[in-house]
């Protein structure tokens, strides 16, 4: 199984974001450096609702280090929905879903086609 690497500090921050936006979803873009996700980029003017997150991708800067996305699910299901898979197909890379109750065990990673990817947390 393929894997994605993420810094522990970033993962903990993403979990805090998910808890802070609950019961709404949040979404962002993941920046990678040397094969490890290290930062999150939140698009300007986002709408984070109970069933979806939306932002105008035209407002994003051109950034070669963006290699994935992250969003939360306010419910306990970490699997991608049809809308998630459609979104994934437009951005490539790896996509994290953080499901309620927003713990390390409720985070899943997927490729653009929806296939699961293992997560390795690095210090």
Domain ranges of the chain: 3-48+64-106
Q: What is the pLDDT of residues 22-73, one digit of tens each?
A: 998 888 889 999 999 999 987 655 545 456 555 555 555 667 888 998 999 9
> For the domain with range 3-48+64-106, which CATH number is right: 2.60.40.10, 3.30.1490.20, 3.40.140.10, 3.30.1360.80?
3.40.140.10
Q: What distance lies between CA 9 and its chain's CA centroid?
A: 15
- Predicted TM-score (pTM) of the model is 0.87
Termini Cα distance of the chain: 22
């Amino acid at each position: 199984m393929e894997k994605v690497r993420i810094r522990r500090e970033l993962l903990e921050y993403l979990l805090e974001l998910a808890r802070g936006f609950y019961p709404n979803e949040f979404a962002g873009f993941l920046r990678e450096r040397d094969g490890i996700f290290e930062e999150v980029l939140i698009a300007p003017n986002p709408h984070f609702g109970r069933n979806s997150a939306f932002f105008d991708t035209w407002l994003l800067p051109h950034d070669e280090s963006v290699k994935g996305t992250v969003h939360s699910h306010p419910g306990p299901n970490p699997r991608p929905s049809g809308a998630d898979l459609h979104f994934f197909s437009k951005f490539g890379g790896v996509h994290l879903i953080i499901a309620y109750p927003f713990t390390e065990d409720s985070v899943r990673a997927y490729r653009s086609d929806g296939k699961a990817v293992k997560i390795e947390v690095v210090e």
